[in-house]
Structure formats: structure tokens, C-alpha cells
Structure 1
Amino acid sequence: MNTSPFVPSPHLQARILAEALPHLIQYDEQTVIIKFGGHAMGDAALADAFAKDVVYLKQSGVNPIVVHGGGPQIAAMLKKLEIKSDFVHGLRVTDKPTVEVVEMVLSGLINKDIVSAINRQGGKAVGISGKDANLMIASRITEMPDPQSNLMQAVDIGYVGDPVEVNPHIVDVISKSDIIPVIAPVAASRDGETLNINADSFASALAARMKAKRLLLLTDVAGVLDKSGELISQLTIEEARGLIKDGTISGGMIPKIEGCIEVVEAGVEAVVIIDGRVPHCVLLELFTAHGVGTLLGRARYKSKT
């Protein structure tokens, strides 16, 4: 059996380069923030493909910044330590023992695993958290919208926070070198409390503050689907709000899309919800004409990039 690797013909190589080149030029020296989470984090092959994508972006002149989640890994460690964990409106109730585990898993185990994966692929990565150089200042979440009425109600979910101030100096310094920052979504309050931040919220706040070219949210879904179950490749802000109103966008996708709208309105050119289960999804989204997810921006593009 022939096990030699596939080598594309010179003509195919030229065609691939010709398609990618305009996109490479468009993203040259631009900041792309990537939220890495979901199934891809637990799949070794997908994690390696992601690491290769990030290294290629850096080598191509793009400034990738990785923000990662870690819900399943946190849940596994809490179970191992026999610490009970509850959720309120999708957010983990985080008492003092839980927040210590959260920081240990996010800033320690997961962060360094991603750093090591990028380094194995030939990159140079460094791991930090929102606490480093006061990158992210947060405040405790004390109220949330009720899922039924959408009215705000008081909640007590412990050491869980929302970003209130972003100081990206440390990320700027790292990104302007040959090093790739990998950021754990843990922050401090103004009083010095350690707070657990939702990774989407952390990445969105950072992207808005840095006016990133793109924010990529890797998820376990293909993107936004229409009522027939087909992927919607592009949405404007107005179209997205219309789909929420008519029920096409529903459930957990509503807060994700509302967050995307806020990011675009804050100055990010576009946000893309991508299926992280697709190998090399980051390169496919940025460097091909059609991409692999749902792009939300102020206007439609002739191609998604």
C-alpha cells in the first residue's frame, strides 16, 4: 500500500497560492483574536491543527492572539476533587474553592498545554492571564436577565465577573515581537479578587479594545443556521437582529450573536462564529474566499474575507 504523503502538482500549488495571496495581503500586520474552546480542545488532532494554523498566521505577518476556555476540564477537576458545581443561566457558580480550581486549570494546565502545542509546531508562544499587567479588570456579576421574561434579576454566583477595563499594553508588546500570546480568561477586580470570566466575553472585550481586524469564536456548531438548517455564511447587524426577532436565532445562540453585535459596533470589522471541529478552520476562514462559519459585520462582503 502506498503511504507516501500527497504532494500537489505545481499547477495546484500555484492555484492555492493565487487564491490565498489577496487574503494574506489583507491581513498583513493585522490583529486577529481567536477564542479557542469546545470539542477541539479535547481532540489531539484538532488541537494540533489549530496550533499549526496559529503558527502559520504568525509566520504570514498576522498578529494572532489566542484566548481559551476550559469548561469541561474545569468540570473534570472539580469532580476529581469532589467539589460540587452548579450553574445559573449558563454560568458556573464559583465559590472560593471553585475559583481556585478554575485559576489552576485555566492559567496552569490548559494554558500551558496550548503554549506547548504551538511551540511544538515551530511557533513561540507565551501564556498569560487577564491578571498579568492588569490586562483585564472585572467586576462581579450581580444581576442577569431572566431567560423567560428577559428582565434583569439579582443573582449571587460568586467569583464570576464581567470585563470593565482592558489594558492591552502587555499583549501589544508580545504581539509586536515574534511571540504569540495565549491568554487564560481569569481577571482581577479592583479590590484584587480573582474572577472567572466567560471566554467569549473576555475575547470580545479584548477585541473591541484593540480594534481587531477579526474576532473568531471557535464553537461546536457550524455557525448560524436558517430555518431549513442551512448555514448562513454572512449577516449584517440588522439581519442578525431580524433573525432573533423572528425566532430563527434562538436559545444559547441569542446571547452569542448579541455579543457579536456589540463587538462590531465597538469597532471590530467582523466577528466569525466557526465550527472548531473542522480541521484547519482558522486558515479556511481567513485565507479562502468562502470561509467555514457565519461572519457578522456592518455590511456584506463580496467574499467573506
Structure 2
Amino acid sequence: MSAMCFVMKCGGSTLAALPDSFFKDLKGLQDEAIIPVIVHGGGPAINDTLGKLGIETEFVGGLRKTNEAVLDVVEMVLAGQINKEIVRKIQLSGARALGLSGVDGKLIQAEPVANAHEVGLVGNVSHVNAELIQGVVKMGYMPVIAPIGLGADGGQRYNINADTAAGAVASHLGVERMIVVTDVPGIMKTVDGEKKVLPTVTVQEIDEMIASGEIYGGMIPKVRAAVQCIQGKVREVIIVNGAEPEVLSRVIKGAEIGTRIVK
């Protein structure tokens, strides 16, 4: 399975800003029967819509406090607006894509997170319907997945962090390596007064660099997010800048680009 597909995580705002060449690269991979399974987020667009609707939202430990009203907006923006925007962009490149949310075909089953009393309807992934994803891939379509989950009874929806969802999808598919597409070239470290991209870093080294202040500001959530993707069978995550030419096909072919985060 992993020989013919890989999992890619991308924020909704990052994907919207990527050049046409990125989508041409996706098409090139699909032509070679290497099918990306895309899991996307959409935090900024959700914030924007909640603001327009006058619905207050707050974050507890990096997770959006979610009630039914917030969840309606999360589902509308993620599974509707952003998911379809990504599908349109992929199809404009000549590639084939199919948009899904975790609700469709019970694709992502979820259970409440441990601190549900604080954050509400936020879920962890308990199961992924890998057969459904494999079926879509076999038909020659790229699955584009919005991270909404369903409880075991199929009635309750859950808001799932996109990074957690991507890691779970990769693990259930048996994929060992995942690519996280961002707007930064990787994890930077200052060496002799010059900022350089670290080619490889371990999870432990990341914790140390956050504690020492070497990783700071907006880079912290990006790096923590990538670390969240390392779960189950996933052994390594590669952070790359989506604006780099042919970045995906180069990574797939083994080029040293971005930062590899290893267990």
C-alpha cells in the first residue's frame, strides 16, 4: 500500500497560497501512480467565519473549545469551503481528486479527548476506514480529507486536530513516512550567526530546542504539529516548504529537502 501512496498534511491557508507548480507536481506524481492522500486543516478560515457570525471561540492548550455551534462552522468551512477549494485546484492541474470528510463512509471514528470537560466536542481518532481510502486510491483519485470525526454510535461529530488526524490516517494506512507542507523551509537553527535548516532532528531534540528558545514563536506550533503526526506506524515526518519547485516528487525520490523529524 505504502509503495503507491503517501500521506501529506497541509494547512488550508498554506494550500490556498501554493503556486500552480505545486499542483502540477501532484499531477506528475499521480501520472506515475504515486497517489497522495491529503489531510488538511483550516484554522484561519474557521476563525474568520466564526468572527463574521459573531460566535466566540477560544483555545485551551492549543485545541479549539468546541460546542455544537462552533462545530457547525468547523464542518461547514473544513468539509465545504476549504475541501472543495483544494479539490478544484488539484483538478485544474489536470489531476483527479475526491473530497471527503471523516464523516463520509465513517472514514474517521473518534472518541472524546481526555480533557473534553475543558474543550468540548474535540476528538481523538479511534479508527480510520483505510479500505475506503485504498478504494479511492485504486480508482485513481487523490483523497482530500477534512478532519471531522464521528463517534462510535455514528451520531456525534467531533472536531479533530488536523495533525492528529493526518498521523492517524498515515498509521492506519501503514505509511511510515509523512510529508508536512508548510510555508517554511524546515526547522531552522542559528549556526555561527547564520540560519540553517536542520536536515534531521529527533523528537527529544525538538523538546530541548523549544525549552532553550532556539525554536520560538510561530515555529513552535508547526513543529509540535509535525511531532503529533508521529504515531503508530509513522516513523518520520518531513517538513518542507510547498513553494519549493517540485518539492513533493523530489522528497519522494529521496532528495534531502526540509527537515526530517524522527522518533
> 1:78 matched to which residue of 2?
50
CA distances 1:33-52 after superposition (whole Å, capped 9, x unpaired): 01121642332xx1533322
SS in 1 for 2:249: helix
> 2:118 matched to which residue of 1?
156
1:275 corresponds to which of 215, 222, 241? 241
1:222 corresponds to which of 185, 199, 212? 185
Q: Is the 8 A contact 2:203 2:262 kept in 1?
A: no
Q: Is the 8 A contact 1:137 1:164 kept in 2?
A: yes
Counterparts of 2:2 and 2:33, CA distance in 1: 5
Counterparts of 1:64 and 1:70, CA distance in 2: 19
Choose 223-232 or 91-100, whichever is displaced more.
223-232
> 2:135 matched to which residue of 1?
173
Q: Is the 8 A contact 1:39 1:277 kept in 2?
A: no
Per the normalisation by structure 1, the TM-score is 0.75
> 2:41 matched to which residue of 1?
69
Q: CA deviation at 1:60?
A: 1.2
Match status 1:205 vs 2:179: no
5+ long unaligned stretches in structure 1: 1-26, 144-153, 299-305
Counterparts of 1:92 and 1:29, CA distance in 2: 35
SS in 1 for 2:196: coil
Query: For residue 135 of structure 2, what is the amino acid of its counterpart?
Result: V
Q: CA deviation at 1:67?
A: 0.8
5+ long unaligned stretches in structure 2: none
Choose 245-254 or 212-221, whichever is displaced more.
245-254
Counterparts of 1:267 and 1:180, CA distance in 2: 21
| Identity in percent | 34
Counterparts of 2:223 and 2:141, CA distance in 1: 35
Counterparts of 2:65 and 2:59, CA distance in 1: 5
Counterparts of 2:158 and 2:71, CA distance in 1: 7
Per the normalisation by structure 2, the TM-score is 0.86
Q: Is the 8 A contact 1:47 1:117 kept in 2?
A: no
SS in 2 for 1:127: strand
Counterparts of 1:176 and 1:61, CA distance in 2: 9
Counterparts of 1:280 and 1:38, CA distance in 2: 19
- Describe the shift of the 1:47–1:68 C-alpha distance in structure 2 as closer, same or farther (beyond 3 A): farther
Match status 1:255 vs 2:217: no
Aligned residues: 253
Q: CA deviation at 1:219?
A: 2.2
Q: CA deviation at 1:256?
A: 3.1
Q: Is the 8 A contact 1:39 1:276 kept in 2?
A: no
